[in-house]
Amino acid sequence: MKEIVKKQLDDLNKRLESLDKVLIIAPDDFLVDTMISVVRNLSKKHYGIYISLNKPHTTINQILEKNGIKTEKIYFVDCITAVVHKTIEKDKTKRVLFASHPSDIRKGGTIPESIDKFIKAIPNEKFILVDALRTLLIHNEPKHVSEFIHNLARISKEFKTKIVVLTRKDHDEELIERISPIFDEVVRIK
Amino acid sequence: MPIGSDIFTSLEEIKESQILVLVIPDKQYTDRLQGIVKELSNNYQSICYVSLNRPYRTLKKNFEENRIDIGKFFFIDAITKTAEIPTPTENCEFISSPNALTELSLAISNSLERKKFDYILFDSLSTLLVYESDIVVTQFVHFLMAKIRVVGCRAIFTCLKQDLDSVLLKDINMFADRVIDMEYWSPDGSR
């Protein structure tokens, strides 16, 4: 990882504890490093609900473990596996819920329903991480993505849950501008 | 040794990548691709070659000329049917055209479920972009890469350098493990 990116991530992690809702915009080739850094930091104190849109939860779990992050406190809403695999093996850890499709984000959809189940089931301090806003926009209308993010903000307030939304830079600036006021801070990794 | 060889044996990071996207300069494309095919056939037993650029017959001839073991390959050919009715072939499935994405997706998914492949070689993302918009191709590739991960296969997707700044390539960086610009890649890891 470039030293300059590492420094920005270190600075972000120092502030993260005091922020409730953060949007992080990173270059596409540093998105995974950014995710690892944030999860490593937050999972020390909090339980995590990881909304995996980019890759199946098994891959994300491997990435986290390979980077020395303990994943026992990370719960997954896997939004991709059910689309591509007819038979989903039952998750023995009970840390995974499978959403039907990355586009199932509207009220009553399998993504918000799964988030709701985990939010209610985990009594401790927790964070929700969405990887990535850009992927939601590949599969959804911007207005539905905007509603989904607003709903996360409501959850943050109601359940005292930290929200971290990742996205890649150089795209979707119009929507980012529109939803920016929801967040305590919009961090741009350069 | 054709350029493009040694890609699996040199960098640990590349060896560990389940899904690689190789960005290849136009002028090097054929040589690089041939090097990759040779490397795959030397190191793996079962490879699925998805060709959106060259018909099966041409690939077969090329493999024979370069002494590449065609027995290790299963082909999904999206070109032949655009020009003729193909002769049924045991190790090849013919798709009507490169823009028949549903058909292509089904052919790859069925092949992945029927056979155990070590690698999928997808030639190429750039061809998909000729026929479909960035967003349609991105959705297709997102699900394809997820499928490859779920079945535990590995894959190489090729792309022309001219598409390096496309929305597709930037999006795909989120779904693949590595995107490598082959113009500056060398087996010793130097750039």
Q: What is the ipTM of this complex?
A: 0.94
Cβ-count burial B72-99 (b if 16+ within 10 Å, e if not): bbbbbbbbbbeeeebeeeeebbbbeebb
**Which residues of A are less than 8 Å from B142 in CB distance?**
54, 80, 135, 138
What pLDDT shows up at residue B136?
Answer: 96
B1 band by pLDDT with thresholds 50, 70 and 90: very low
Give the distance between the most distant pair of CA atoms in chain B. 47
Residue B49 has pLDDT above 80, yes or no: yes
Per-residue CA distances from A62 to A56, A58, A136, B73 (Å): 10, 6, 23, 29
- Tokens for B136, please give them: 């349609």
Contact map slice: B 86-125 vs A, CB within 8 A: 109
Q: What is the pLDDT of residues A104-148, one digit of tens each?
A: 999 999 999 999 999 999 988 999 999 999 999 999 999 999 999
Per-residue CA distances from A80 to A18, A75, A97, B182 (Å): 32, 15, 11, 30
Residue A187 has pLDDT above 80, yes or no: yes
What pLDDT shows up at residue B16?
Answer: 79
Which residue in chain A is spatially nearest to B133 when comparing CA positions? A138
The CATH superfamily label for domain A3-185 reads P-loop containing nucleotide triphosphate hydrolases (3.40.50.300)
A34, A76, A79, A80: which to substitute to probe chain B, counting the most B Cβ within 10 Å?
A80
Strand segments, DSSP code E, in B6-72 are: 19-24, 47-51
Contact B142 A132 (CB under 8 A): no
Per-residue CA distances from B51 to A24, B3, B119 (Å): 38, 20, 14
CATH architecture of B7-184: 3-Layer(aba) Sandwich (3.40)
Q: What is the DSSP letter of A169?
A: S
Question: Across chain A, what does the average pLDDT equal?
Answer: 94
- Tokens for A147, please give them: 């509603």
Contact A84 B150 (CB under 8 A): yes
Compare CB distances from B174 to A56, A135, A170 and report the shortest one's residue.
Answer: A135
